[in-house]
A and B are shown apart, each in its own frame.
Chain A
Amino acid sequence: MDILNGLMLGLESAMQPVTLLYCFIGVFLGTLIGVLPGIGALATISLLLPITYHIPPTAAIVMLAGVYYGAQYGGSTASILLNLPGTPSSAVACLDGYPMAKQGRAGVALFMTTIASFVGSMLGILALILFSPSIAELGLKFGPAEYFSMMLLGLIAASTMASGSPAKGLAMVVLGLLLGTVGTDVNSGVARFDFGVPELMDGINLVALAMGIFGVSEVISSINQVRESEVKEKITMRTMMPTRKDVRDSIMPMLRGTGIGSFFGALPGTGASIASFMSYAVEKKIAKDPSRFGKGAIEGVTAPESANNAAAQTAFVPTLSLGIPGDAVMALMLGALIIHGIQPGPLLMTQQPELFWGLIVSFGIGNIMLMVLNLPLIGVWVAILRIPYRVLYPAILVFISLGVYSVNNNTFDVLMVAAIGAVGYAMAVLKFEAAPMLLGFVLGPLMEENLRRSLLLARGDLMTFIERPISAGLLGFGAALLLWSIWGALKRTVRASELKKDFPEAA
Chain B
Amino acid sequence: MTNKDMQDIIGGLALTALGVFAAVHAQTYEFGSLTRMGAGYFPVALGVILALLGLLIAVPAFFRRGQPIRVEWKTFALVMGGIVAFALTLKVLGLVLATALSVVISSLADRDTRWKGRIFLAIGVAAVTYVVFSMGLSMVLPIWPWSL
Contact = CB atoms under 8 A, between A and B. Distances in A.
Interface in A125-167: 165, 167
Nearest to B56: A167
Contact of B33 (A170, A171, A406, A460): A460
A383 to B, nearest CB: 18
B139 A174 contact: no
Given A398-B103, A398-B129, A429-B70, A171 B29 contact: no
Given A168-B11, A192-B26, A394-B107, A411 B42 contact: no
Interface size class of A (residues with CB under 8 A): 35 or more
A398 B102 CA distance: 7
Nearest to B46: A178
Most buried by B among A223, A405, A429: A223
Interface of A: 51, 54, 165, 167-168, 170-171, 174-175, 177-178, 181, 185, 187-188, 190, 192-193, 216, 219-221, 223-224, 388-391, 393-395, 397-402, 405-406, 409, 411, 414-415, 417-418, 421-422, 425, 427, 429-432, 448, 451-452, 455-456, 459-460, 462, 493, 507
B111 interface: yes
Interface in B96-126: 99, 102-103, 106-107, 109-113, 121-122, 125
B112 A390 contact: yes
A421 B7 contact: no
B84 interface: yes
Interface string B50-91: 100110110010001100011110011001101110111011
Contacts of A394: 82, 102-103, 106-107, 121-122, 125
Given A223-B75, A394-B107, A190 B39 contact: yes
Nearest to A171: B53
B143 interface: no
Most buried by A among B38, B39, B75: B39
Contacts of A427: 11
A192 B82 CA distance: 31
B49 interface: yes
Contacts, number: 178
B106 A397 contact: yes
Nearest to A54: B137
Contacts of A54: 137-138
> Chain B binding site: helix, strand, loop or mixed by DSSP?
helix
Contacts of A175: 15, 18, 50
Contacts of A393: 106, 110
B75 A220 contact: yes
18 contacts: A171-B15, A171-B53, A174-B53, A178-B18, A178-B22, A192-B43, A193-B26, A193-B43, A390-B112, A394-B103, A394-B107, A395-B129, A397-B102, A398-B129, A415-B83, A418-B83, A425-B76, A493-B60
B72 A168 contact: no
B95 to A, nearest CB: 8
A33 to B, nearest CB: 15
A192 B41 CA distance: 11
B110 A390 contact: yes
B79 A411 contact: no
A418 B107 contact: no
Contact of B80 (A398, A422, A430): A422
Contact of B139 (A188, A389, A400, A406): A406
A23 B102 CA distance: 32
A460 B125 contact: no
B140 interface: yes
Interface size class of B (residues with CB under 8 A): 35 or more
Contact of A414 (B75, B83, B99): B83
B128 interface: yes
Contacts of B75: 220, 223-224
Given A188-B30, A422-B76, A425-B76, A401 B83 contact: yes
Given A193-B25, A411-B87, A167 B53 contact: yes
A165 B7 CA distance: 13
B83 A452 contact: no
A159 to B, nearest CB: 10
A185 B29 CA distance: 11
B10 interface: yes
A185 B8 contact: no
B34 A460 contact: yes
Contacts of A167: 53, 56-57
Contact of B39 (A165, A187, A451): A187
Contacts of B56: 167, 171
A431 B111 CA distance: 25
Given A185-B39, A414-B87, A430-B69, 16 more contacts: A168-B8, A168-B11, A171-B12, A171-B54, A177-B46, A178-B18, A220-B75, A223-B109, A224-B72, A393-B110, A394-B106, A414-B83, A414-B86, A418-B87, A430-B8, A460-B35
Contacts of B37: 448, 451-452, 455
Contact of B43 (A181, A187, A451): A181
Given A167-B57, A192-B43, A411-B90, A456 B139 contact: no
